Amino acid sequence: MERIHTDAVAPSTAPLSQAIETNDLLFVSGQVHRTPDGELLEGNIEAQSRQVLENVAAILEEAGASFDDVVKATVFLTDADDFAAFNRVYEEYITEPYPARSLFAVEALALEELDVEMEVIAEV
């Protein structure tokens, strides 16, 4: 088991690794719309989603992977009405064949200010 870390993503305030690689799989922890300098990105769901995907991309790259290697994505939105907007941004980063995905509308995420979070599993 190997811990993956990049300074291109702000460190989490929770006790977790950005990602763990084991048995040719990479498990990327849930990423939120925190900028590399540690600030939560303000703005609409598209901007926030783009930051989430940029964070995931940076961790994948650190592990020698890309979105092409993602086999499963899990997404959490605090507003189900953001589904279409999130999908538009998602398709800028992830192309066919799309990975398996679950998307949940949840009442809240870990911090009150969070609107979107995404975790992925990739082959490495």
Task: Report pLDDT digits (tens) over 39-68.
Answer: 999 889 999 999 999 999 999 999 999 999
- Report in angstroms the alpha-carbon separations of 12 from 55, 73, 79, 89, 98: 12, 19, 23, 23, 28
Give the residue-averaged pLDDT of 29-47: 95
Name the DSSP letter for residue 92.
H
Using alpha carbons, select from 14, 38, 16, 41 the residue that is nearest to residue 27. Answer: 16
Give the residue-averaged pLDDT of 25-38: 96
Of 27 and 14, which is predicted with more confidence?
27
Letter string b/e over residues 87-110, b meaning 16 or more CB atoms within 10 A of that residue's CB: eebbeebbeeeeeeeeeeeeeebe
Distance CA 32, CA 111 (A): 10
pLDDT (0 to 100) of residue 12: 87
Model confidence at 111: pLDDT above 90:
no
Per-domain residue ranges of the chain: 2-123
Q: Which CATH architecture has domain 2-123?
A: 2-Layer Sandwich (3.30)
Model confidence at 103: pLDDT above 90:
yes
